[in-house]
Amino acid sequence: MAGFLRPEILAPAGSMDSLVAAVRCGADAVYLGAGRFNARQNAKNFSLEPSADHSTTSLGEAVEFCHARGTRVHLALNTLVREEEMREALYAAQMACEAGVDALILQDRGLARRIRAAAPHMALHASTQLSCHTPGGVAALRDAGFTRVVLAREMSREEIAACAGLGAELEVFVHGALCMCVSGQCYLSAMLGGRSGNRGTCAQPCRLPFAADRHPGPNDFALSLKDLSLGQYVEDLARMGVTSLKIEGRMKRPEYVAAATAVLSALADGRQPDEQLQEDLRNVFSRSGFTDGYFTARRGKAMFGARTREDVTAAQPAVLSRLQRLYDRETPRIPVDLALSVVPGEPVTLSASDPDGNQVSVQGESPQVALHKALSPDRAASQLGKTGGTPFFPRKTECRIGDGVTLPAAELNALRREALDRLITQRGRAKPVEYRENQLPDRLSRQESPLWKTESRPKLLARAARASQVPALKEADVVFLPLTVAAALPEVALPCWGVEIPRGLFGQEDAVRRQLQQAARKNARYALCGNVGAIPLAREAGLLPVGGFGLNLTNGEALQAYAAEGLAGAMLSFELTFRQTGFLRESPIPTGLFAYGRQPLMLTRNCPRKTEIGCGGCSSAGEMPEISHRPSTGSATGPMGGDPYQPLPPSGLLDRKGLCFPTACQGGCSELLNAMPLYLADQLDTLPPVDFLYLHFTTESPAETASLLQQYRHGAARPPQQITRGLYKRGVL
């Protein structure tokens, strides 16, 4: 790849077997989990400390193995951390520093803030769970101390290129599973089964049958994508300036890791992989084949697929056996310089050194007097060059041989083995990164913001999906409108309002920038920001950014981190229970709860409904269609009197149980909404002491919208039927 840097091949290591496979097949770096704060809790993973019975491999042992062979180690600490878990998560970071890992992969901004203060020399990589997909997001994470950003999988070639050259390394997924949802924005598993993808326990309900507007059959997989494969674009990615090519698969078997690593390593070296190896990679694991649809901007039905019986049988024993041979012995990948001294009357000495400055020297007995044939430099060099079965290959060998002496081949072999064993031990010796346990980041005190609670009740922040809902929300303290709705209104007749910046900003920064400026000219004051890339756009337009649920705030340090970036207020993650929100009492900015509405459970760039039946009858650009509910009966049990939350007519995705999940589009992305709305108006006295409640209106009629606003203003005696309390009581794993 002349003219640009060879990218790093970053391989998954969900177990020691997979780690060995990755290293021996050419991985420049591996990423792995240790302890419980990683996004693959069901992988074998590694222990933070050596186990007494040697039943698990420790992080230190994994790092030693990799560093001895020239492979870097990135530790995934990429889950959200609750306030009561911060100490344990920091201990994991401290153990990583002691082991000398090369980088930490982080999602939680609070944890990142603490680690940056305690270990300023540790490289921090922003996980793809941070949903970063814009140049502005990359720049914001760079300024927050991240040296590398793992970009969202949904980005096109042009969008990736636009993020290069901004002072942060870029890491891009090139092979493996594709989630339907943008990483970090999926709450489907959490809401349906209490197992959170943001906590590393996703149950993958998206791989179950779903269909648009009808009950799904056994072959309907509207939320399941094929696996990603970008091997043919390795040179393009390198030319763009992408630093690291990442293979997904910490839950997959070592043979898959070996095949993917070997193929991509060859491509990165400019070599064409063996045809049989490429075929074996296709067979060892796929979901109805592979896709490059996001990268090439050819999104659509061809990207969808599920694991079939044919896919399973393709990974037959013969394939696995061939792939196992790829890593059944050490691969010579480290150049070594050898210097032999055989002088009469002195101990034989062999020195070995590598390009990293490591050097060892071993000694043997004095040489024997040659009775027949003296030892020649060429014969000695030939014997020393037999480094097979080790990670080394001879680069330069110097032999100083005295006259008339000899040395048995067995002794030369023993010296070589001892020297290389010592060299590999020296290479693997831990190089700890300084960790200052008592060093804390500076804390911000209470910041000025108009969103602070000034009365006994929280303020009400409401989001309208359609212009028809706006008049019903005049009594809300702040009303948020989707950008396209705000743009369509000649003026916004509200005392205090703002705009909702789409969480999906793929390629839309310039358009959103113009729309925010237009909204500011119409006297918009706030911007709801559900992505790290939205915050600088809001500030640039002179709007006060309010953090949305998509920022996934679960601890006080995260509030500190985002307050430092200028948030005027922030919504807490709706994966927290009420008991887990005690930290908000010391928040430097106003905090709020998602208190009403159909919670967005997925943000996807490939609309599952459009793929199956097209866009007819769908919402567009944030304009949610109104869903007709049962007429009012005059009672006080529902927003309109009576119970409006009867099962919805088919206008979304249906699961196996017949539940309908509406879909809504905005900013070129689609959101999958919960089948039932969250409702808390009858429990206002039990809520944590937040400063505001956020009401997320989508399918409600204007009359229902007005009624619901009043219920949250004054309280309700009892809840309607067909609602959910969300995760605030039951929580997530």
DSSP 466-478: SGGGGGGGTTSSE
Domain end marker among 327, 353, 382: 327
2 part of a folded domain: no
648 pLDDT exceeds 80? no
Query: How does strand 652-654 pair with strand 660-666?
Result: antiparallel
Long-range (24+ apart) CB contacts under 8 A made by 534-537 are 534/501, 534/503, 534/505, 535/140, 535/562, 535/565, 535/566, 535/567, 536/136, 536/139, 536/140, 537/136, 537/501, 537/509, 537/512, 537/513
Q: What is the pLDDT of residue 635?
A: 31
CA torsion sign for 372, 376, 381, 382 is: negative
Q: Are 678 and 720 in contact (CB under 8 A)?
A: no
549 and 670 in a single domain? The answer is: yes
- Residue with the larger pLDDT of the pair 44 and 502: 502
Q: Which residues pair with 125 in a beta bridge?
A: 105, 148
C-alpha 728 chain-centroid distance: 24
Burial 203-238 (b: 16+ CB within 10 A, else e): bebbbbbbbbeeebeeebbbbbbbbbbbbebbeebb
312-318 mean pLDDT: 89
Instruction: Determine which of 51-65, 249-263, 337-351, 613-627 has the lowest per-residue pLDDT on average.
Output: 613-627
Residue 617 has pLDDT above 70, yes or no: no
Q: Is pLDDT above 70 for 650? A: no
Which CATH number do you get for residue 679? 3.20.20
Distance CA 185, CA 477 (A): 27
- Phi/psi region, residue 199 (left: phi>0; alpha: psi -120 to 50; beta: rest), is alpha
606 inside domain: yes
Same structural domain, 409 and 471 = no
pTM for the full predicted model: 0.94
Residue 52's pLDDT is what?
78
Sequence letter at residue 205:
P
| Residue 281 is assigned to a structural domain of this protein | yes
Tell whether 241 and 142 lie within a shared domain.
yes
- Do 359 and 318 reside in the same domain of the chain? no
**What pLDDT shows up at residue 616?**
62
The average pLDDT across 685-708 equals 97
Give Cβ neighbours of residue 128 (< 8 Å, ≥ 6 apart): 150, 151, 152, 153, 173, 183, 184
Q: Within this chain, do residues 299 and 340 fall inside the same structural domain, yes or no?
A: no
Report if residue 192 sits inside a domain. no
pLDDT tens for residues 376-403? Answer: 999 999 999 999 999 999 999 999 999 9
Out of 482-486, 515-519, 663-667, least confident range? 663-667
Asked whether residue 88 carries a pLDDT value surpassing 70, the answer given is yes
Query: Residue 557 above 70 pLDDT?
Result: yes
Question: What is the pairing mode between strands 334-342 and 290-291?
Answer: unpaired
Q: Is the pLDDT of residue 680 over 80?
A: yes
Q: Are 227 and 175 in contact (CB under 8 A)?
A: yes
Q: How big is the chain by its Cα radius of gyration, in Å?
A: 30
| Domain-embedded: residue 300 | yes
Same domain, 409 and 535: no
Edge-first strand order for the sheet with 669-673 is 211-212, 652-654, 660-666, 669-673, 600-604
Boundary residue ending a domain (308, 327, 346)? 327
Kindly report, residue by residue over 222-252, the tens digit of the pLDDT: 999 999 999 999 999 999 999 999 999 999 9
Assess whether pLDDT exceeds 60 at residue 620. Answer: no
Query: Is residue 610 one of the residues assigned to a domain?
Result: yes
Give the domain-ending residue among 300, 327, 354.
Answer: 327
Judge whether residue 619 has pLDDT over 70. Answer: no
Say whether both 532 and 615 belong to one domain: yes
The domain spanning residue 256 has which CATH number?
3.20.20.380
Question: What is the pLDDT, as a whole number, of residue 235?
Answer: 97
Euclidean distance between CA atoms 569 and 571, whole angstroms: 7
pLDDT digits (tens, 9 = 90+) for 46-74: 999 988 777 789 999 999 999 999 999 99
* pLDDT for 2: 64
Contact 251, 179 (CB under 8 A): no
Strands (E) in 46-144, as ranges, are: 72-77, 103-106, 123-126
Q: Within 10 Å of residue 445's Cβ, how many Cβ atoms?
A: 7
Q: Three-state SS for 233? A: helix
Cα(624)–Cα(608) distance, integer angstroms: 16
Among the ranges given (73-82, 616-625, 688-697, 709-718), the one the predictor scored with the smallest mean pLDDT: 616-625
Residues 383 and 493 in one domain: no
Please, are residues 133 and 505 in contact by the beta-carbon 8 Å criterion? yes
Q: How far is CA 316 from CA 22, 308, 323, in A?
A: 21, 14, 11
Give per-residue pLDDT as tens, 403-451. Answer: 999 999 999 999 999 999 999 999 999 999 999 999 999 999 999 999 9
Residues 480 and 496 in one domain: yes
Q: How many CB atoms lie within 10 A of CB 276?
A: 10
What sign for the dihedral angle of Cα 380, 385, 388, 392? positive
- Kindly state whether residue 211 falls inside one of the protein's structural domains: no
Average pLDDT score, the chain: 93
Q: Which domain holds residue 678?
A: 459-626+634-714
User: What angle do helix axes 254-268 and 16-24 make, rounded to 10 degrees?
Assistant: 20
Distance of CA 615 to the CA centre of its chain: 30
The answer to whether residues 545 and 403 belong to one domain is no
Assess whether pLDDT exceeds 60 at residue 632: no
What is the per-residue pLDDT for 241? 96
List, as one string, the DSSP characters of 501-534.
E-S--TT-HHHHHHHHHHHHHTT--EEEE-STTH
Tell whether 388 and 371 lie within a shared domain: yes
Q: State the pLDDT confidence band at 618, using cuts at 50, 70 and 90.
A: low
Do both 408 and 323 map to the same domain?
A: no
If one counts the domains in the chain, the total is 3
Tell me the per-residue pLDDT of 199-225, one tens digit each, with 9 for 90 and over: 999 999 999 999 998 999 999 999 999
Cα 649 to chain centroid, rounded? 35
Instruction: Note whether residue 433 is domain-resident.
Output: no
| DSSP helix/strand/coil, 240 | helix
